[in-house]
Amino acid sequence: MSSTLNLKERTEYAGIDLFKLIFSFFIVFIHCHPSGTLSYLTANGVGRLGVPFFFCAAGYFLAKKIYSAENSLAGWKSIGAYLLRIFKMYALWTVIYLPMIYVKYVLLNKWDFSRCLEEFKEAFFFTGSFSQLWYLPALLVAAAIVALLAKCRIHPAIIVTLGVGLFVIGMFNEAYGGLCPEWLKEWFVEHYDPTFVRTRNGLFFGTVFVAMGFFFAKKDKFEKNYLLDAGGLLFFGILVCMESYMLYKGGYSGSRYGMYLSVIPATFFCFRLARTIELPVKPKTALKMRKVSTLIYLSHQFMNALLISYVPNYLVKQGYIKSLGLNNTKEGFFIILFAALGFSMIITHLGSKKNFVGKICRFLT
């Protein structure tokens, strides 16, 4: 019996962890891709499935803990412990990024302390303390909403439906900004944006994908159909690329990307496929992939700021070095990717140690 359970864990989770690792590479590409149509479609087409997949996987693993809890109280404790862990991660990563925030606000932009503090407070609570870190507070909010509704015995399918509705509203303040109805645009401009800035957050963006993870965890038995899942992923993946490109060429998306409607079904089929893929790897190996993928996602913009953009730009501005010319280049992408990958593997290794350093490293994932 135990060997069967181990096999199930090994085959079920390893596919998800492998896809997370692959998508972490795509997410790095989103933030430092070179110019060109193919590069654009890679970053803003297929690459835009990365963060939704991360949300979906997070919801799936959280739901597993809740649904396997011995009683209701244990389920609530699992939720509380998870939300606290995500908050600690966000706080710790914010501290890690403080030097890069200082370079950006003070050294490059020459802002005074009061303006830096105001900008930092708004970013920390609403848009993420630094670039991609928005994912952590968004996950905190989305996980809290979905877990609360699930504990109130609302079926995940209903929560997914609610999430789709929120996503549709939110996308008109993001990629579909140029097509936003006037009454909704007025509400965003006058009432929503002055406080919350964007709808790329836990409520409008994350809810549907975390709920999707709960749906997969609740509906534990799916008939394996690789052709259907791969075909669905291919079809809707192409649709994401088309949707993204048409919005971009039509001038409707402005500078905001990512909230494309076809991302929802594409993520659904992608997660179904990942969940059914069987890999002959040990659970520890799959867990390491999971941690490395999370660390790549959270650390790559630090590597970008340190090695390619903020710090080098400041040194060029001061006349210490000549321009590296690595912004948005293939070379820059590989430098950032390998730096983040190396850092992630080191932190994952240190996190396995039972000492103070290991404890701190475990907080990062």
Among 97, 88, 178, CA closest to 139: 88
Give the CA angle between residues 187, 120, 23 to the nearest 5°: 80
> Which pLDDT value is given to residue 346?
95
pLDDT for residue 204: 96
Kindly state the tokens that stand for 49.
């499935």
- Res 8: pLDDT: 45
Q: Which residues of 76-107 are buried (b: 16+ CB within 10 A; e: fewer)?
A: eebbeebbeebeebbeebbeebeebbebbbeb
**So what's the pLDDT on residue 148?**
95
The pLDDT score that the predictor gives to residue 124 is: 93
> Which pLDDT value is given to residue 358?
87
CA angle 146, 13, 290 (to 5 degrees): 80
Quote the CA–CA distance of 97 and 35 in Å, as a whole number: 27
> Looking at the whole model, is its pTM more than 0.75?
yes
| Structure tokens belonging to residue 334 | 């590989």
Residue in the structure block whose two tokens are 């950006």: 104
With a cut of 50, which residues of the chain have pLDDT below it? Answer: 1-11
User: What is the DSSP secondary-structure string of 164-219?
Assistant: HHHHHHHHTTTTTGGG--HHHHHHIIIIIHHHH--S-SIIIIIHHHHHHHHHHHHS
pLDDT for the residue 10? 44
**Angle between helix 37-44 and 2-32 (nearest 10):** 140
Q: What is the pLDDT of residue 2?
A: 34
Give the per-residue pLDDT at 4: 36
pLDDT score, position 314:
92
DSSP secondary structure letter of residue 108: I
